[in-house]
Amino acid sequence: MATSRLKLTRAQLAAFLKDPESIRQFEKLFAVADSDIPGITILIEEAQIAAGSALASAVQALDSVEAIRTAVELAALAPPRPPEMRRRKGQFASTVTQTAAATATAYPITFNVSQLSDGIEIGSPASRIVVDTEGLYAAAATIQTEKTSAGAGALYAWWRVNGVDVANSARLLVVNGTDADGPLSLSAIFSLKAGDYVEAVWEVDSTAVQLPATAASGVHPAGASAQLSLWAL
């Protein structure tokens, strides 16, 4: 890169310097400056590059600060996240045969085994399956039936919530003949509050229709007379 030398005549220097000694000293100063102008120029260029880099870094830092500030403001405006709810669930079984003492009578199915219980448990009486947390719950029940005498017999089963029959939840199964059997299933979704309970209820038109529990064999496990599952959605 070409550089310009410092060129001032003595006459020009005398215009603002009043004595010869001052003029000589300025001439020496110019001579020193002229000898290192390339180095000075390089230093100036490097300083300019460094200043430009520093400016770019400062702009980038300011952009980052602005992005963080915006994110913090948005987070402050966002609604709080609800606490993570433990997924309530329970599964219960009856290992005893249940019978009806009379026809046209509603009998809530009772349970004596908690196969799984997390926030849902068998209440009192043992037909009540109680939840401890408000929410939506899915329910499923399987009921084993058997006819112990000849002829046909009908069994109805349905849901109750807090002792009130659930409309349109009844299911019908007809078993015909001695030792005739078959399963009946129920399913539903309920909106429950803490402390609410669910029951599966049955009724027969013949007391020869019962809910049998079956014994284990050397091949298969024992069978429950009824099983009910309830879990939070």
What is the share, in percent, of the chain residues with pLDDT greater than 70? 82
In the block, tokens 């004596």 appear at: 112
- Model confidence over 140-178: pLDDT tens digits? 999 999 999 999 999 999 999 999 999 999 999 999 999
Nearest to 227 by CA among 121, 94, 67, 97: 94
What is the phi/psi pair of residue 5, to 5°?
-85, 160
Would you list the domain boundaries of the chain?
10-77, 89-232
Mean pLDDT of the chain: 87
- Integer CA distances (angstroms), 169 to 105, 143, 172, 197, 201, in order: 17, 15, 10, 16, 10
pLDDT band, very low/low/confident/very high, at 8 (cuts 50, 70, 90): low
Q: Residue 3 — pLDDT band, cuts 50, 70, 90?
A: low
Q: Which pLDDT value is given to residue 209? A: 97
Confidence of residue 71 (pLDDT cuts 50, 70, 90): confident
Q: How far apart are CA 21 and CA 26, in angstroms?
A: 9
Q: For the domain with range 89-232, which CATH number is right: 2.60.120.40, 1.10.10.10, 3.40.50.300, 3.40.50.10710?
A: 2.60.120.40
In this model, does residue 1 exceed pLDDT 70?
Answer: no
- Cβ–Cβ contacts within 10 Å for residue 41, how many? 14
